[in-house]
Structure 1
Amino acid sequence: MADDDDDEGFGGAYEDGHWIWDESSEQLVFVSDLPPAPVEAIQIPTKAPTGTVEFRDDVDLIEQIRFRRRYQRKLKPGQAEIITVQDVKDIALFTAPVNIMSPVLINMLHLPTTERFIRALILYCAYYLQIADEMTRRILELETKVRTPDCEILENEYRDNLADLRLLVAKEYSTMLIGGSDTRKFHHMGPQKKRRSLSDKDARLFETLLRMCVQIVWLALGRKSFNQIELEMNRMFKSEIFNSVEHTLKTGYISKMAKEERDVLLGHCVRHDKKLNTQSPLMNEVFCHRYIDYRLMGLGVIKFPQMTPRLQYMYQAVAGDEENLANMGVVLGIIGMPRAAFDTMLRPLPTAGETQKSKASVSSAVITGSQSSKSSSMRKSTTTPHQLYPDIILPKPASKETYFPQSFPDQPERIRPCSETQRRRWQTRLQRLLHPQTAGR
């Protein structure tokens, strides 16, 4: 005998629905009498915020005490009390808006490849701003002076220096694009590169990383020339066509440059293709038809014997120990300078300009108003009262290579690890900001 629940046959009623016979599939189908549950629509941003992102730069005293107590890098016994890239990253992460922060971004910033990438950016932007001021002065002097063949020789040297420094940035950026080395797990198609491409997620990570790098470079260069740094970095990574910052600010700075300025600052590897075929200036530098020292492509990753003074300098700036920057004659913005000369937020104290004397032949200082005739020559390692560090003077490339290895070097260079302690601190802070209700548990 059938149970009470089966008295109604196929159309028997249930508490929240009934069964019916589906002719097409020839099987029983349960139909619910309840209204469909509302589905909460979650808006996932497919594009990251760009130039509208504002970092805090007015941190009050209470916040500074909290930062110093909880998040500032603690010195280990025997460590030199100097400013490191990690210190600058910590300030940028502390003052960043929550809407651009993510665990992936924090992990990405604490990779050796990313740290070399940031140091190369600091070096390039410092030299770019320095040469931009020098070229502005030279163009103004053309009103009363005549160009000579020596002018072109000197400007070609500036142009080649900028191209080589862009190449240092491009080699680390290329590693990120292909998911090589320690960036493999951040690739948009997965560590094995076999998943479906997450283009929106990749675009958001790229935009936030670029904006974070702009802030880090600006802090490392003494909080000077923010717009110029942001414009140049967006031009390098996106080309003139897709430079969103320029489209917003509408400065027209490239069109206002004189021909000599454009040739030096942009280089001769700029290609003006159709939009679909446009490559970023960084990629153009990699595939440019000019003489390139092949060792630049592996600097800081592969150990090269008998490096020239020029390569040794670039290696120290990009991958060398920060404690040795001053001793090696390399100044990378405020990186490597005494920590006591700056406050908690890495602003120079009034005596910083007096106590910091240059022992280097190179520096990354930029004076925004260095158009006066009293500005120091780039050939001299001198500082003005407004500079924290002297000018950059890159060693000249060797006129003739005397050493040729029998095979391409394959011995890896010693990789400087990033601070795992700091990475965990910022991950914990982000979770507190995203989930304040569980912060006290």
Structure 2
Amino acid sequence: MADDDDEGSFGGEFENGHWAWDEVNNELVFVSDLPPELVETVAVTVKVPTGTVEFRDDIDLIEQLRFRKRYQRKLKLGQPDIITVQDVKDLALFTAPVSLLSPMLINMLHLSTTDRFIRALILYCQYYLEIAEEMSNRILELETKVRTPYCDVLEHTYRENISDLRTLVAKEYCTMLIGGHDTKKFHHMGPQKKRRSLSDKDARLFETLLRICIQIVWLALSRRSFNQIELEVNRVFKSEIFNSVEHTLRTNYISKMSKEERGVLLGHCVRHDKKLNTRSPLINEVFCHRPIDYRMMGLGVIKYDELTPRLRYMLMAIGGPEEDLVEMGVTVGILGISRSCFDTMLHVLPTVLDSHKKSKSSFSSASSSAPGFSKSATASVKSTGSMKGSPSSKTVDKLYVYNNIILPEKDEVEPEFPQSFPDESAQVRPCSETQRKRWQTRLHRLLHPPKNKRKSII
């Protein structure tokens, strides 16, 4: 009986511990006799804050010479000396911070699918900037002019053109997401898609890829309107809700647009669902209920026997040889323009600009002195927003070394689905394996510098 009374009292002992009086807090506490359990710590990989990543754009002469000697694309016998997408990628990789780079990112940048994706993104961003400025001017003119029915027809054409160019970007992006063609080994579940999903690794890869693609587009458009490009690219890939750049800058540029501007620039395929069901505008363009030529989804991948002038223009822009772009009248930023018109960092040479400023004729007729040069619809822009990191707000004359995009009109008759689709693949332009190995070697030296050498490895 005494044992039972003692066990039932506060001072009794139990199987895994006993009660004791805490004189400090003046209360009863239960003291466990078991050893403390080990708490497993899960190592979480740190993602690169891509929204705050800054590329170097103030390269000194010594580094420029090093870039030209070691990393710039060398011309082979018979190759034309023009700007290619590889040249722009090389400059972006050279000026990128080491924290952004990875061997997988370098390998993915040197794929034919990624090349088409980058060229389609350059084409879309260039046309978006042109139409955004055109619509801004039209809204200002409405204060003194009357809107006519022709305005609706013209804006409908702009909206369809932007939507089609956005679809070109979406089709290449979808190929990357599903691991199609040459992107199989980069899929987060393995080439056979049977492994465990590595969602964090996949998110890191696409975040860094998107950030470096924004830099490539900005360089290919002669360093034009960086903030506007960054906002639009993040919007179409992540939607308005998850646009981290807009959350940081807080420009409210969409709410400041007029109804007509939103209808043209955003299109009618924008869906405002709940956050869990939200899809990016790129994916919405693919599943949008609007007349889309089915052959657009296979441009650069499937060989079609007959194409309309509009589709031939798009095919040349995303998958054609760069040396034929200027001759065919296709504009994809500075691609296809003579490399002698630029310096090592792809700035237009001042002597070329001075020679064109003295001429009062149109820049398209001055191709004999500098091939491919023309003045954009924007002759005067503010340096803020157009020049990355420029604190000045003065108005400067900015000459763009490419023509405006003039897309051929759509056919009025929609194409019918054939009984069988062509199974012959289109001729794919391979990427430079030499350049890929150079950048892999440079990254390895940056991550694992030699201990006993003082020589710079950058």
| Fold shared by both chains (TM-score > 0.5) | yes
Match of 1:426 in 2: 439
The answer as to whether partners of 1:363 and 1:393 remain within 8 angstroms in 2 is no
Match of 1:209 in 2: 209
The answer as to whether partners of 1:170 and 1:283 remain within 8 angstroms in 2 is yes
Deviation at 1:408, TM superposition (A): 1.2
SS in structure 2 opposite 1:397?
coil
Distance (Å, rounded) in 2 between the aligned partners of 1:316 and 1:142: 37
The answer as to whether partners of 1:364 and 1:392 remain within 8 angstroms in 2 is no
The answer as to whether partners of 1:126 and 1:365 remain within 8 angstroms in 2 is no
Deviation at 1:400, TM superposition (A): 2.5
The answer as to whether partners of 1:306 and 1:403 remain within 8 angstroms in 2 is no
Offset from partner CA, 1:34-93 (integer Å, 9 cap, x none): xxxxxxx99753433121000000000000000000000000000000000000000000
Match of 1:15 in 2: none
Match of 1:322 in 2: 322
Match of 2:118 in 1: 118
**Aligned with 1:367 (options 378, 392, 411):** 378
| Alignment map for 1:341-360 (pairs within 5 Å) | 341-353=341-353, 354=355, 357=364
AA of the residue aligned to 2:378: I
Offset from partner CA, 1:233-282 (integer Å, 9 cap, x none): 00000000000000000000000000000000000000000000000000
**Quick one: structure 1 residues 406 and 199, their matched pair in 2 at CA, closer, same or farther if it must change by over 3 Å?**
closer
**Quick one: structure 1 residues 385 and 222, their matched pair in 2 at CA, closer, same or farther if it must change by over 3 Å?**
closer
| Alignment map for 1:15-414 (pairs within 5 Å) | 45-353=45-353, 354=355, 357=364, 365=376, 367=378, 369=380, 386-400=399-413, 405-414=418-427
Match of 2:36 in 1: none
Using the size of structure 2 for normalisation, the TM-score is: 0.81
The answer as to whether partners of 2:342 and 2:349 remain within 8 angstroms in 1 is yes
Distance (Å, rounded) in 2 between the aligned partners of 1:290 and 1:404: 15
Distance (Å, rounded) in 2 between the aligned partners of 1:161 and 1:351: 36
Deviation at 1:370, TM superposition (A): 6.1
Distance (Å, rounded) in 2 between the aligned partners of 1:70 and 1:392: 35
**Quick one: structure 1 residues 436 and 330, their matched pair in 2 at CA, closer, same or farther if it must change by over 3 Å?**
same
SS in structure 2 opposite 1:423?
helix
The alignment covers a number of residue pairs equal to: 389
AA of the residue aligned to 1:437: P
The answer as to whether partners of 1:170 and 1:282 remain within 8 angstroms in 2 is yes
The answer as to whether partners of 1:323 and 1:336 remain within 8 angstroms in 2 is yes
Deviation at 1:406, TM superposition (A): 4.6
**Quick one: structure 1 residues 439 and 288, their matched pair in 2 at CA, closer, same or farther if it must change by over 3 Å?**
farther
Deviation at 1:327, TM superposition (A): 1.1
AA of the residue aligned to 2:215: Q
The answer as to whether partners of 2:105 and 2:208 remain within 8 angstroms in 1 is yes
Offset from partner CA, 1:294-316 (integer Å, 9 cap, x none): 00000000011110000000000
The answer as to whether partners of 1:120 and 1:165 remain within 8 angstroms in 2 is yes
Distance (Å, rounded) in 1 between the aligned partners of 2:245 and 2:143: 32
Distance (Å, rounded) in 2 between the aligned partners of 1:133 and 1:425: 40
SS in structure 1 opposite 2:247?
helix
AA of the residue aligned to 1:47: K
Offset from partner CA, 1:105-140 (integer Å, 9 cap, x none): 000000000000000000000000000000000000
SS in structure 1 opposite 2:151?
helix
Using the size of structure 1 for normalisation, the TM-score is: 0.84
The answer as to whether partners of 1:123 and 1:317 remain within 8 angstroms in 2 is yes
Q: Structure 2 unaligned runs (5+)?
A: 1-40, 357-362, 383-396
Deviation at 1:352, TM superposition (A): 3.6
Deviates more, 1:48-57 or 1:312-321: 48-57
Match of 2:450 in 1: 437
AA of the residue aligned to 1:116: R
Distance (Å, rounded) in 2 between the aligned partners of 1:107 and 1:281: 27
The answer as to whether partners of 2:381 and 2:398 remain within 8 angstroms in 1 is no
**Quick one: structure 1 residues 159 and 368, their matched pair in 2 at CA, closer, same or farther if it must change by over 3 Å?**
farther
The answer as to whether partners of 1:341 and 1:351 remain within 8 angstroms in 2 is no
Distance (Å, rounded) in 2 between the aligned partners of 1:100 and 1:424: 18
Deviation at 1:350, TM superposition (A): 1.8
SS in structure 2 opposite 1:230?
helix
AA of the residue aligned to 2:108: M
Distance (Å, rounded) in 1 between the aligned partners of 2:440 and 2:252: 40
Deviation at 1:173, TM superposition (A): 0.2
Distance (Å, rounded) in 2 between the aligned partners of 1:431 and 1:391: 41
C-alpha RMSD over aligned residues: 2.4
**Quick one: structure 1 residues 341 and 44, their matched pair in 2 at CA, closer, same or farther if it must change by over 3 Å?**
farther
The answer as to whether partners of 2:300 and 2:318 remain within 8 angstroms in 1 is yes
**Quick one: structure 1 residues 364 and 290, their matched pair in 2 at CA, closer, same or farther if it must change by over 3 Å?**
farther
Distance (Å, rounded) in 1 between the aligned partners of 2:183 and 2:249: 33
**Quick one: structure 1 residues 369 and 255, their matched pair in 2 at CA, closer, same or farther if it must change by over 3 Å?**
farther
SS in structure 2 opposite 1:269?
coil
Distance (Å, rounded) in 1 between the aligned partners of 2:452 and 2:180: 36
**Quick one: structure 1 residues 270 and 309, their matched pair in 2 at CA, closer, same or farther if it must change by over 3 Å?**
same
